Amino acid sequence: MSEEFLEHVLGGRTTEVEEAVRKAAAVEIMPRFRQLAADDIVEKNGPHDLVTVADRAAEAHLTASLTALLPGSVVVGEEAVHADPAVYDALRGDAPVWIVDPVDGTRQFVHGDPAFCTLVALARHGELLASWTFAPALDAFATAVRGRGATLNGLPLRSGSPAAGAPIEVATSHPDYTTPDQKAALLGLVTEGVNPRPCGSAGLEYLAVARGTLDATAFSWEYAWDHAAGLLLVTEAGGAHTTLAGEPFRITGGNALPFTAARDAATAERVRGLLGGR
């Protein structure tokens, strides 16, 4: 990816994208927070996989505003892919792709918990260019641009490294989203010197790694809308990520799972080893 192409695609649009994300949250998400009726919530694939009117309305809003900002771009959104899985193929195409999770942490949103966020990333040919993570109920907005660093509410983000000798804190996949082999791999984290816990909103877990308040993640699913924004955020804050095979995570899929993102490369390798990586 050349610097010239990155500049051509983004130009001065990072602020405009932030404004679009903030507007979608203000118009479609926050007026519904703690105001949902029972028929505003639908189970997609079971009780832990929910969608609300806010998810759908916010994704439609962002699809319109983001493609208007960048003519010729396309959107891969969680709800659009649920309706038509072929939409996901755009990640492998030539057009710039907006990767959108309108409400990451829908379960938290449904229960009135403020720990949810909106995730947007821009990619082309499977390569991440920029990302935006907005937690409107927490007043936190994080941005990352490839090769240019990461910020939270306008201040630089640095992930740092875990304190020497201290146990590492790792957010892990919920058991409902793991295969038997993945469950067995995640059990490798139940060991001295590691404190695993179930993850909440993936986007906010990535933000915690980028801020240095969480040491690592260990996730067993690979949907791009959950991971794209956070992976770039962690990388640009100085962190690292790796799959079980010791390769960088690919947003186009086909990754060896589970995979980890961590505050530094040494921690990522440590977690990969505990997961059974070679």
* Domain boundary residue, one of 156, 187, 209: 156
- 27 pLDDT exceeds 80? yes
| pLDDT digit string, tens, across residues 64-113 | 999 999 999 999 999 999 899 999 999 999 999 999 999 999 999 999 99
Residues 130 and 173 in one domain: no
222 is a domain residue: yes
- The response to whether 55 counts as a known ligand-binding position is no
If one counts the domains in the chain, the total is 2
161 is a domain residue: no
Structural domain boundaries enclosing 152: 3-156
* Domain boundary residue, one of 135, 156, 177: 156
Closest CA to 117 of 98, 129, 130, 132: 132
CATH number at residue 67: 3.30.540.10
| pLDDT digit string, tens, across residues 106-146 | 999 999 999 999 999 999 999 999 999 999 999 999 999 99
Residues 24 and 137 in one domain: yes
- The response to whether 78 counts as a known ligand-binding position is yes
Is 175 or 265 the better-scoring residue by pLDDT? 265
- The response to whether 40 counts as a known ligand-binding position is no
Residues 143 and 188 in one domain: no
51 backbone dihedrals φ, ψ, rounded to 5°: -135, 145
Q: Is 256 helix (H, G, I), strand (E, B) or coil?
A: coil
State how far the alpha carbon of 217 is from the alpha carbons of 49, 159, 171, 220, 233, in Å: 20, 13, 5, 10, 13
174 is a domain residue: yes
* Domain boundary residue, one of 113, 130, 156: 156
